[in-house]
Amino acid sequence: MSERILVIDDDPTFNAVLTRALVRRGYDAQGVLSAEAALAVLRSDAPTQVVLDLNLGGTSGLALIRPLLEANAACRIVVLTGYASIATAVDAIKLGALQYLAKPVEVAAVLAAFADGQPQTAAAVDDMPLSVDRLEWEHIQRVLRDHDNNISATARALNMHRRTLQRKLMKRPAKQ
């Protein structure tokens, strides 16, 4: 079986640039912009490697990990996200992803993740503790995940007004 890389990312520019960079490096790469298009590709020819965006048009890319592995149990999956959180990183690895990388990411880092071949279950511990803002961001992400990304239920669980929670979610995560 030849190595096929499927790029699943809803940002058309990023998808095209990453796919083109992989093709230039000699890989058989294909890009799709939605979960539906990815599932259609799975039915015709399962990829051996997948670059998967965590947020696909407002839905979680994590939902695609299981179907990808069912189509090809040896498939290696690298999850990319613009909003990295520890909770989603742990979820991605538990579901079967090989790596979890924060955007922006270089092609070399993606290829290195595939070459590594071992899931990254333990992250290096930083000497500096997380900031209060970052801890808040991580906690909100965990509670949001626990409530199936339901903003209203998450706001109730956090005893926070829904609009306040929405404003916090629209911001980029606080720096470490």
Q: CA-CA distance, 157 to 149, in Å (whole number)?
A: 12
Cβ contact 141:51 at 8 Å: no
In a domain, 126, yes or no: no
Q: Which two tokens stand for residue 121?
A: 């279950």
**Segment 88-103, tens digit of pLDDT:** 788 888 888 888 888 7
Same domain, 28 and 111: yes
pLDDT 10s digits, 13-67: 989 999 999 999 889 999 999 888 888 888 888 888 999 998 887 778 888 899 8
SS3 6: strand
Which residues contact residue 75 at a Cβ distance below 8 angstroms, ignoring those fewer than 6 apart?
A: 46, 47, 48, 49, 50, 68, 69
pTM of structure:
0.66
Do 81 and 44 share a structural domain?
A: yes
- Pairing mode, strands 28-32 and 4-8: parallel
Tell whether 103 and 165 lie within a shared domain: no
165 shares a domain with 94: no
- Whole domain around residue 16: which residue ranges? 4-116
CA geometry: angle at 13 spanning 96 and 26, to 5°? 65
Q: Has residue 93 been placed in a domain?
A: yes
138 and 82 fall within a common domain:
no
Show the tokens assigned to 114. 């595939």
Residue 52 sits in the same domain as residue 138: no
Output the pLDDT for position 51: 93
| Cα(104)–Cα(88) distance, integer angstroms | 17
Number of domains present in the structure of the chain: 2
Alpha carbon distance 148, 25 (integer Å): 39
Among the candidates 70, 87, 116, a domain finishes at: 116
Q: 81 vs 9, 11, 62, 126, 160, CA distance in Å? A: 10, 11, 11, 21, 26
Residues 144 and 75 occupy one common structural domain? no
Tell me if 44 is assigned to some domain.
yes
Domain co-membership, 45 together with 12: yes
User: 69 and 96 in contact (C-beta within 8 Å)?
Assistant: yes
Spatial distance between the Cα atoms of 33 and 131, rounded to a whole number of angstroms: 35
